[in-house]
Amino acid sequence: MTELTGARLRSRGSLSDLLRVGPTVDLTEIDPRSTPGLPKKKDPKAWARERLASIGADLARYQEKLYANAKATGDPRRLLLVLQAMDCGGKDGTIKKVAGAMNPLGLHIVGFGPPTEEERAHDFLWRIRRALPEAGQVGVFNRSHYEDVLVARVDSLVPERTWQSRYWQINGFERELVNGGYTIVKVMLHISYQEQRERLLERLTDPTKYWKYNPGDVDARARWTDYQAAYNDALSRCTTDYAPWHVVPADRKWYRDWAVANIVRDALAGMDLSYPKADFDIAAERRRLEADRVPR
């Protein structure tokens, strides 16, 4: 397990590059408590929290440009952040911190639970397509179509040949989205078995957190190794140059938030967004307003 320093990061490029997975993922090789790419600081937690605020301001600016282009010019581009994690992995907290920096009007946040009867009557991508963000929006998926190769595989909800065929279906689907103007950012929040236990216990200790506790989470936890294997396959088989997977060590919440915010900012920066130009005569409009009188 390696802890990469800020200096090493600079030589390798952005944090997104650093956290992007290779062609064969083995989660046991990534320490959930590590903080790759974090510069050496006296108080790294305070530093990361402070940086998050300024990255948030960048996110808001980029998001406004994305939204403005769709409104003004019909630009089809949009961003989709896909978040996956084991229970208590911190998806909700990450959404609060990262998406929370953006204008709610331009956000489209969707969580996926067990499919309803209607959803089960359709292909697994049916409900996903219906939940996609519109042009100009930033979409966030709290769980996603990847559940159909994770829980569906581990709990044998479908025969093996069905979930096996889903990896290439997912790749084809994401290719289609990218061709249509989507930028897809996929992030797996990687927590340790021990950290999950702490967080589940916390939910049982604090009455304001009982509502978050689901006894079924302990059953899923018992199949931790199967889930990690399913994650390794999903990440390895569905990381593509057009929609790469990132693994963010997530035992430390302050690192997780900082890292995800960075990855999203890198993606928005890569879209080369600018404010749309006026499609009207600015000087003429100004003259009209200056000559303006209260109507009688």
Report which of 220, 215, 213, 221 is spatially closest to residue 195, judged by C-alpha positions: 221
| Contact status: 87 vs ligand ATP (CB under 6 A) | yes
> Minimum distance from CB of 98 to ligand ATP (Å)?
16
Residue 226 within binding range of ligand ATP, rule CB under 6 A = no
- Residue 207 C-beta: closest distance to ligand ATP, Å: 17
112 binds ligand ATP (CB under 6 A): yes
CB of 26 to ligand ATP, least distance (A): 22
Q: Select from 43, 35, 41 the least CA-distant residue to 18.
A: 35
Specify the stretch interacting with ligand ATP by CB under 6 A; choose among 84-92, 101-109, 131-139, 270-278. 84-92
- Collapsing DSSP states into helix, strand and coil, what is residue 188? strand
Cα 50 to Cα 147: distance, rounded to the nearest angstrom? 34
**Helical pair 253-269 and 91-98, crossing angle rounded to 10 deg:** 50
Does 93 bind ligand ATP (CB under 6 A)? Our answer is no
**Calpha distance 193→83 (Å, rounded):** 19
**Position 147 contacts ligand ATP (CB under 6 A):** yes
Residue 112's binding partner among Mg ion, ligand ATP, none (Cβ under 5 to 8 angstroms by kind) is ligand ATP
By CB under 6 A, the residues from 162 to 181 that bind ligand ATP are none
Only segment of 12-20, 53-61, 109-117, 274-282 that touches ligand ATP (CB under 6 A): 109-117
Closest distance between Mg ion and the C-beta of residue 230, in Å?
A: 16
Could you say whether residue 156 binds ligand ATP (CB under 6 A)?
no
**Residue least distant from ligand ATP (Cβ):** 147
Find the part of the chain contacting ligand ATP (CB under 6 A) among 95-103, 133-141, 146-154, 230-238. Answer: 146-154
